[in-house]
């Protein structure tokens, strides 16, 4: 979750660290800090609660009051609180009692309470409530005079996950680092005269402006970064020579391009993102999944398909599973990665595990992927961030080409995930002979038209859903209904609304309403039904009537071809005609706009909703 940046170079460290933190702020934004060695080798530490702007302000203030923050080696951190409130004392970096070690951390130290008690028993005085400070204090208590040796001795005592950046008081030229389970990357800044600096980061987004070659530490590896190069080691002290991953693109600073919010911009980018994602899959003579073809070898041997993900990625998996079962007849299910990992699932080589993630770093999804691999399942990643842990460990990936997604609430990554899953289910049905040439031709053509229809859906729905938002923005509770694929779309719509507008939103399979939840519907309660599947439209309609009879303010997203005049809802939005199985994709668009406008009217922090982070790297 938290963002880590480290720099050892020839230039002023503070601007480099602040620039890196800006690129990482989406990982957490409740407090931030930086530590750097000044020109005399003393440590300057500045922290602030709140967003990065607060840290920038604090740094300026302290420099005006005489702080020397002109150094070339340092660490920065942007926090998403796990242990301890987002206050300044709990912000990273954390220093040990005597200032020997300064640490930034991403991850969770599960045995921190035990270690803290032990260290307090030895007279250590803690300055924060965090699990991270335990690491700094433990390092100080274990110090041998060699930071690498100290790390090797101390780290095995930690249970849980960590990506660490570490500064040592008598070595102002080096940034030390270590990793277990949480991602950690490094890069060199190369010039014609050789290496001019090195960088450490929790995420490639902070490194790619400097280099396309990124070195990824593996679990149990340590490193030392200096201005003239970097070296990596195993826990046994042997040197490791890492091979860089070469990224295909340079990342420029994220730019709102005239929009007020990244989310609104990313909503509008969906037709293009869909086009980019589908183009390599929809070849002239039919579907071809690139690397994904390897996962479908021996297609008749696939007897179960599992879709694993969290949040919106799980919702994409719900669509994937419904579609897969419909097109291939193979028993399919979507599982929340966070629950899946806690069970002892029995998988084998007849199971295809489709692991879905925008960031490619979601801790629970990564754990689920590892379990699926251990159990011998075939694994296929559907990942947006190139070079991420899930992309690396899946082995076989169909990339979503959404591009950089900055807003915490996913929009274009979700849409592109759906498009990949459509292609996957269709291709498997083709390879197994489950679908006839007529259906394949028709569905593939509908897929080709999807980006254009997405553009049309965005265009035609904005005015309507803005009006809906004006009516619903004050609501305390809202309900989203749908059956089958429409339910999947409703689930995603509810998540979008609640995460950015803080309006309570729950999705129900429409038939379930009367098994309890209908008692919550009072006159005026907004109920939004997704009714796009011809097969279940009549039944959904009855459920809408039931809600209407109890006074619900009914809203309905429906599609051309559904007899919508008969729907109980006066407020209706009709999506452009597409293949019925693709409507989940189009229905997502007005739902995103609805959530966006509710949040905008309520003046919420749309791109960085409270308590959330873009990349959830803790369990
Ligand atoms: C919701 C949202 C989250 C993510 C979830 C998984 O708008 O963005 O629910 O979908 O945290 O993240 P990834 O896809 O990065 O694994």
pLDDT one-digit tens code per residue, 187-238:
999 998 889 999 999 988 899 899 999 999 999 999 999 999 999 999 999 9
Asked if residue 400 has its Cβ within 6 Å of ligand 1, the reply is: no
* Residue 253: Cβ-neighbour burial (10 angstroms; 0-12, 13-18, 19+): exposed
Residue 164 has pLDDT above 90, yes or no: yes
Q: What is the tens place of the pLDDT at every residue in 407-437?
A: 999 999 999 999 999 999 999 999 999 999 9
CB-based contacts of 405: which residues, under 8 Å, 6+ apart?
Answer: 266, 358, 384, 411, 412, 413, 614
- What are the distances in angstroms from CA 236 to CA 215, 218, 594? 20, 14, 55
What 3-state DSSP class applies to 244? coil
Structure tokens at 49: 């609660």
pLDDT tier, 253 (very low <50, low <70, confident <90, very high otherwise): low
Residue among 183, 262, 315, 362 to mutate when testing ligand 1 (max atoms within 8 A of CB): 362
Residue 1 has pLDDT above 70, yes or no: no
H helix intervals, 87-184? 112-121, 132-142, 147-154
Contact 55, 32 (CB under 8 A): yes
Distance 69 CA to ligand 1 centre (A): 37
Residue in the block written with tokens 């990665």 = 337
> Which has the closest alpha carbon to 162: 180, 176, 135?
180
Residue 512 has pLDDT above 90, yes or no: yes
Q: Which of 188, 412, 496, 614 is catalytic?
A: 614
Residue 366 has pLDDT above 90, yes or no: yes
Residue in the block written with tokens 């942007």 = 78
CA 411 to ligand 1: nearest atom: 7
Asked if residue 365 has its Cβ within 6 Å of ligand 1, the reply is: yes
Other beta carbons within 10 Å of 478: 25
What 3-state DSSP class applies to 87? coil
Q: Which domains does the chain have, with CATH numbers?
A: 3-246 (3.60.20.10), 257-435 (3.40.50.10490), 455-619 (3.40.50.10490)
- What are the distances in angstroms from CA 451 to CA 268, 532, 569? 11, 18, 28
pLDDT tier, 251 (very low <50, low <70, confident <90, very high otherwise): low
Contact 421, 382 (CB under 8 A): yes
In the residue annotation, 153 being an active-site residue is answered as no
* Residue 394: Cβ-neighbour burial (10 angstroms; 0-12, 13-18, 19+): buried
What average pLDDT does this structure show over 311-319? 98
Contact 323, 271 (CB under 8 A): no
Distance 186 CA to ligand 1 centre (A): 25
* Residue 16: Cβ-neighbour burial (10 angstroms; 0-12, 13-18, 19+): buried
Residue 564 has pLDDT above 70, yes or no: no
In the residue annotation, 2 being an active-site residue is answered as yes
Residue 35 has pLDDT above 80, yes or no: yes
CA 314 to ligand 1: nearest atom: 10
What average pLDDT does this structure show over 275-285? 94
Residue 475 has pLDDT above 70, yes or no: yes
Q: What is the tens place of the pLDDT at every residue in 443-470?
A: 999 999 999 999 999 999 999 999 999 9
Atom 3 of ligand 1: nearest residue by CA position: 311
H helix intervals, 434-558? 437-472, 485-501, 537-549
CA 365 to ligand 1: nearest atom: 16
Q: What is the tens place of the pLDDT at every residue in 386-396?
A: 888 999 999 99
Give the integer Cα–Cα distance in Å for 525 and 208: 47
pLDDT tier, 273 (very low <50, low <70, confident <90, very high otherwise): very high
Structure tokens at 50: 């709140």
Residue 252 has pLDDT above 90, yes or no: no
Distance 596 CA to ligand 1 centre (A): 17
> Which has the closest alpha carbon to 593: 401, 503, 463, 479?
463
Structure tokens at 365: 């999804």
Sign for the CA dihedral angle at 511, 514, 517, 522 comes to positive
- What are the distances in angstroms from CA 19 to CA 14, 46, 137, 142, 397? 8, 16, 29, 33, 31
Q: What is the tens place of the pLDDT at every residue in 52-63?
A: 999 999 999 999
Asked if residue 384 has its Cβ within 6 Å of ligand 1, the reply is: no
Distance 450 CA to ligand 1 centre (A): 23
What 3-state DSSP class applies to 305? strand
Give the integer Cα–Cα distance in Å for 284 and 527: 43
pLDDT tier, 497 (very low <50, low <70, confident <90, very high otherwise): very high
What is the edge-to-edge ordering of all strands in the sheet holding 332-336? 332-336, 304-309, 351-357, 378-383, 397-399
Q: C-alpha 349: how far from its chain's center?
A: 28
Average pLDDT, the chain: 94
Q: Which of 2, 531, 556, 604 is catalytic?
A: 2
Q: Angle 404-80-135 (CA atoms, 0-180°, nearest 5)?
A: 120
Q: C-alpha 372: how far from its chain's center?
A: 20
Q: What is the DSSP letter of 227?
A: T
What average pLDDT does this structure show over 42-51? 95
What 3-state DSSP class applies to 384? coil
Residue 21 has pLDDT above 70, yes or no: yes
Distance 362 CA to ligand 1 centre (A): 8
Which of 350-381 are b and which e, b meaning 16 or more Cβ less than 10 Å from the residue's Cβ? ebbbbbbbbbbbbbbbbbbbbbbbeeebbbbb
Distance 592 CA to ligand 1 centre (A): 14
Q: C-alpha 19: how far from its chain's center?
A: 21
H helix intervals, 169-307? 262-268, 270-278
Contact 179, 173 (CB under 8 A): no
What 3-state DSSP class applies to 521? coil
């Amino acid at each position: 979750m938290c963002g880590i940046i480290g720099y050892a170079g020839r230039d002023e460290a503070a601007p480099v660290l602040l620039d890196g933190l800006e690129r990482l702020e989406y990982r957490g934004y409740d407090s931030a800090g930086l530590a750097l060695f000044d020109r005399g080798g003393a440590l300057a530490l500045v922290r602030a609660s709140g967003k990065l702007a607060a840290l920038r302000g604090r740094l300026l203030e302290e420099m005006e009051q005489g702080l020397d923050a002109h150094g070339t080696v340092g660490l920065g951190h942007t926090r998403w609180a796990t242990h301890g409130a987002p206050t300044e004392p709990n912000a990273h970096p954390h220093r040990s009692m005597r200032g020997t070690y300064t640490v930034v951390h991403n991850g969770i130290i599960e045995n921190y309470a035990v270690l803290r008690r032990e260290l307090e028993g030895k007279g250590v005085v803690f300055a924060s409530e965090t699990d991270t400070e335990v690491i700094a204090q433990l390092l100080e208590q274990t110090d041998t005079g060699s930071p690498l040796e100290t790390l090797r001795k101390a780290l095995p005592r930690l249970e849980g996950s960590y990506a660490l950046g570490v500064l040592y008081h008598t070595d102002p030229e080096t940034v030390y680092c270590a990793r277990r389970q949480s991602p950690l990357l490094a890069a060199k800044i190369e010039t014609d005269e050789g290496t001019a600096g090195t960088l450490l980061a929790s995420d490639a987004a902070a490194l790619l402006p400097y280099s396309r070659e990124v070195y990824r530490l593996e679990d149990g590896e340590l490193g030392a970064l200096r201005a003239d190069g970097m070296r990596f080691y195993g826990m046994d002290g042997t040197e490791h020579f890492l091979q860089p991953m070469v990224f295909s693109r340079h990342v420029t600073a994220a730019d709102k391009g005239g929009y007020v919010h990244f989310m609104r911009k990313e909503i509008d980018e969906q037709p293009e993102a869909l086009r980019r994602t589908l183009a390599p899959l929809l070849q002239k003579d039919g579907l071809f999944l690139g690397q994904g073809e390897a996962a479908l070898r021996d297609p008749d041997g696939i007897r179960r398909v599992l879709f694993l993900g969290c949040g919106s990625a799980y919702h994409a998996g719900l669509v994937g599973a419904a579609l897969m079962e419909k097109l291939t007849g193979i028993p399919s299910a979507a599982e929340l990665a966070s629950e899946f990992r806690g069970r002892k699932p029995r998988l084998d080589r007849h199971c295809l595990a489709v692991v879905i993630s925008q960031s490619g770093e979601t801790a629970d999804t990564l754990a689920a992927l590892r379990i699926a691999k251990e159990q011998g399942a075939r694994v296929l990643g559907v990942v947006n961030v190139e070079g991420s842990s899930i992309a690396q460990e899946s082995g076989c990936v169909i990339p979503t080409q959404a591009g950089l997604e900055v807003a915490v609430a996913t929009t274009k990554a979700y849409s592109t995930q759906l498009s990949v899953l459509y292609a996957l289910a269709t291709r498997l049905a083709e390879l197994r002979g489950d679908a006839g040439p007529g259906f394949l031709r028709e569905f593939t053509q509908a897929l080709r038209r999807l980006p254009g229809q997405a553009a049309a859906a965005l265009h035609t729905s904005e005015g309507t859903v803005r009006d809906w938002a004006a009516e619903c923005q004050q609501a305390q509770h809202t309900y989203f209904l749908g059956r089958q694929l429409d339910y999947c779309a409703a689930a995603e719509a509810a998540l979008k609304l609640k995460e950015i507008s803080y309006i309570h939103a729950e999705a129900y399979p429409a038939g379930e309403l009367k098994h309890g939840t209908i008692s919550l519907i009072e006159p005026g309660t907004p109920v939004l039904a997704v009714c796009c599947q011809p097969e279940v439209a009549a039944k959904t309609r009855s459920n809408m009537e039931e809600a209407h009879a109890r006074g619900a303010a009914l809203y309905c997203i429906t599609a051309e071809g559904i007899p919508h005049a008969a729907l109980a809802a006066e407020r209706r939005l009709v999506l452009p005609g597409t293949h019925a199985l693709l409507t989940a994709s189009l229905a997502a668009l007005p739902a995103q706009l609805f959530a966006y406008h509710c949040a905008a009217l309520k003046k919420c922090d749309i791109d960085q909703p409270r308590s959330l982070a873009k990349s959830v790297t803790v369990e």
